[in-house]
Amino acid sequence: MGNELAGIATTGEARMNAFLDVCFWMLVTVIAVLVVYTVRHYIFTVNRLFGRQRHPYVDVSVARWPAVTVLIPAHNEELVIGHILDALLAGDYPHESLTIVPVNDRSTDGTREVIDDYASRYPTLIVPMHRTEGASGKAAALREASEHTSGEIIIVFDADYVPGAGLLRQLVAPFFDPQVGAVMGRVVPLNAGTNLLTRMLDLERSAGYQVDQQARMNMRLVPQYGGTVGGVRSSALASVGGWRTDTLTEDTDLTYRLLLGGWEVVYQNRSECYEEVPEQWPVRIRQISRWSAGHNQAFRDHSGAVLRGDMRGFRQRLDALLLLGVYVVAPLTLLGWLLALTLWYGGHSVSGWIAILLVASFSTVGNFAAFFEVAAAARLDGHNRRVRLLPFLLLGFLVSQMAVVRSMFTFKRRKNGSNGVPLVQWDKTQRYRGMEFGVQLTTNSSSQYTKHSS
């Protein structure tokens, strides 16, 4: 009897050890994936700081400019839509080649009135589209609007953006290169100094564009078309099947379809445009949840094709895969934490000193690659003092991580159609500009609107 009990205990012990071994190797795999992303961050930052920069189209300023249609999808944007229309009208793109199409999708505020007012004043330039039926959401609005446009080039802005006078020319210039299918410009927060969150988002945006996107451009990898402050060639769009309406991030999806279709996507770091970033954490969480859900959808849709090698060279394919997987890193990191906790409780030990060094190295050097990228980007931007906020980004990462993990389940529920929530709908980020400046828009019988300063 005693021997039997001892045997059972030994078997239990052996099973536990086997389980811990499995956990250990899973943890090693997770760390290996994270190390790949760490190296990627580092290479991008070094390239952006010290490498040769590619700005092949930045000097194109005199040309016979092609016909351009600017699409501005809008849903309840009365606070900001007038600002972007004013900014576009003040731009230096030849008016005879320019058509501005504000696409009002089921707005219930004064968006329609503001747009119609502008259209009545600039009938040859502004051709509004008011959607009251059909599929809802930005992608559906873009799809319908694109079908009715005649311009060779389509430029897209979200309604809260404020383009500078020369921006349209800068965004159109790359299309003189016949290989270019899409162009992306740089997004710069307009309200960066509002609070800690906006300052942190400014740092993140800075890293994403100044370093990530520009390094990919430099290294001929995969600059990403981001759905706003960017454009697409009509023929390229048509050749890959137009905008998809069943995706949460039509921009990522289009980037990959264009690349797989043999088109080039380019990034213009000089083409800066202001946007509003979220000023409240819940708004930020909703934003990142949508991005991650859409990005992971693109991962499922396109990773197979990328792996099959329908791309230009190994490096571009690898970067395309890593870019598709960026939002998988959050759940992987969480898994890593769970595995580490399990191993720790289980008393699993690997050859002492080496393991200690490995863990310590990854915790420091590994984490630092991302912070190096952020700090380098802020320095390039001349925002040195803002770099002192770096440690707060740890908290930001924690929130983002939780939001990304949660979005994976939310998205699944949406896809299944429970709760009566459709897969794709308007998932707008809250606007602040009107509130900040005390602007109220009121309409009267002649569709004029007035601004009241508080």
List interacting residues with another protein (CB under 8 A).
Answer: 42, 46, 48-55, 58, 186, 195, 197, 210, 214, 269-270, 272, 280-282, 285, 337, 340-341, 344-347, 352-353, 356-357, 359-361, 363-365, 367-369, 371-372, 375-376, 378-382, 384-391, 393-396, 398-399, 402
Q: Which is nearer to another protein, 391 or 420 (CB)?
A: 391
Q: Which is nearer to another protein, 27 or 369 (CB)?
A: 369
Q: Which is nearer to another protein, 50 or 314 (CB)?
A: 50
Q: Which is nearer to another protein, 123 or 391 (CB)?
A: 391
| Rounded Cα–Cα distance for residues 245 and 424 (Å) | 7
CB of 264 to another protein, least distance (A): 19
148: helix, coil or strand? coil
CB of 173 to another protein, least distance (A): 14
| Rounded Cα–Cα distance for residues 312 and 308 (Å) | 12
User: How long is the chain?
Assistant: 454
Question: Residue 259: how many CB atoms within 10 A of its CB?
Answer: 27
CB of 369 to another protein, least distance (A): 8
Q: Which is nearer to another protein, 100 or 215 (CB)?
A: 215
CA count, 13 A, side-chain hemisphere, 301: 19
| Rounded Cα–Cα distance for residues 71 and 140 (Å) | 12
Q: Which is nearer to another protein, 344 or 437 (CB)?
A: 344
Backbone angles phi, psi at 153, to 5 degrees: -120, 135
Q: Which is nearer to another protein, 8 or 395 (CB)?
A: 395
CB of 101 to another protein, least distance (A): 28
Contact at 8 Å (CB) between 219 and 47? yes
CB of 367 to another protein, least distance (A): 6
- Cβ-in-10-Å burial (0-12, 13-18, 19+) of 364 comes to exposed
CB of 55 to another protein, least distance (A): 6
Alpha carbon distance, N-terminus to C-terminus of the chain: 87
Give the closest residue to 274 by CA, choosing from 24, 62, 80. Answer: 80
DSSP conformational letter for 110: S
CB of 162 to another protein, least distance (A): 17
**Helix, strand, coil percent values for the chain (each to nearest 5):** 55, 10, 30
438: helix, coil or strand? coil
Amino acid making up residue 355: A
Q: Which is nearer to another protein, 77 or 373 (CB)?
A: 373
Q: Which two tokens stand for residue 46?
A: 């070094």
360, 363, 366, 368 alpha-carbon torsion, rounded to 10°: -110
CB of 230 to another protein, least distance (A): 15
